[in-house]
Amino acid sequence: MKKYLAEFFGTFWLVFGGCGSAVFAAAFPELGIGFVGVSLAFGLTVLTMAYAVGHISGGHFNPAVSVGLLVGGRFDKKDFVPYVIAQVIGAIAAAAVLYLIASGKAGFDATASGFASNGYGEHSPNGYSLVSALVAEVVLTAFFLIIILGATDERAPKGFAPIAIGLGLTLIHLISIPITNTSVNPARSTGVAIFQGGWALEQLWLFWVAPIVGAIIGAIIYKVMGCTCGCCKSAK
């Protein structure tokens, strides 16, 4: 139960901090933090909670990461479903708190504003197609898993994994906010989509399918590169 609570609060913080920065601060008059600020906010949420609770649950905060770690042999399959449930509930709870706060401003409309939801086509921040969104989410999630698996490898320098992972997520957002508003995390996409309530729910399927496919690809790539069995050592 402690592991599941850690995943709940870690995912809550990711959505509250990352999506909250997009909702409240990205375009704030004259002092808005913009894409760079939102990207950094997402990276900082993962970095801080990885240090805070990563030693309890492993610090997934993302169903796609759980899938990738499972494929990569770093995660017990008996914990998979409870982890995903905890992550999704944490994301929804964070989105609910964001919605409650945002509703305190006159004229707020989650449906019209998008509420930091992910989208493609006319709902992409810069009008990118479904195919562009699919490719971006798959490729970026694959590299995210390579970063995670590499940074947490027992052969990697100790104590620096959260920094590499947090900066990796920052870079991912810097690349893809204009394309999809950046998901690489089905829980994050689900939480805000529920409160957007319209097109975000209709397009949500992509932000489950693409990150999960990308995570599987990334895990397989790292397993091949990072293999230390006798046969692989001989091949090297």
Q: What is the CATH number of the domain that holds 48?
A: 1.20.1080.10
Model confidence pLDDT, tens digit, residues 4-43: 999 999 999 999 999 999 999 988 777 789 999 999 999 9
Q: Is residue 148 part of a domain?
A: yes
Both structure tokens of 93: 């709870």
- Tell me what the mean pLDDT of segment 165-183 comes to: 97
Model confidence pLDDT, tens digit, residues 111-166: 988 999 999 999 999 999 999 999 999 999 999 999 999 999 999 999 999 999 99
Q: Is residue 235 part of a domain?
A: no
How many Å apart are CA 114 and CA 118, to the nearest integer? 8
Containing structural domain, residue 43: 1-103+110-226
How many Å apart are CA 236 and CA 229, to the nearest integer? 11
Contacts with 133 (C-beta within 8 Å, 6 or more apart), sequence order: 119, 120, 124, 179, 180, 206, 210
Query: Above 60 in pLDDT, residue 236?
Result: no
The CB-side HSE value for 218 (13 A sphere, CA atoms) comes to: 28
Q: Is residue 121 part of a domain?
A: yes
Q: Are 73 and 223 in contact (CB under 8 A)?
A: yes
Q: Is residue 185 part of a domain?
A: yes
Residue 168 DSSP one-character state: H
Both structure tokens of 235: 């091949």
How many Å apart are CA 52 and CA 45, to the nearest integer? 10
Model confidence pLDDT, tens digit, residues 39-66: 999 999 999 999 999 999 999 999 999 9
Q: Is residue 236 part of a domain?
A: no
Q: How many residues does the chain have?
A: 236
> Which residue from 34, 35, 38 is spatially nearest to 21, judged by alpha carbons?
38
> What's the number of domains the chain is made of?
1
Q: Is residue 232 part of a domain?
A: no
Q: Is residue 65 part of a domain?
A: yes
pLDDT at 215: 98
Query: Above 60 in pLDDT, residue 230?
Result: no
Q: Is residue 184 part of a domain?
A: yes
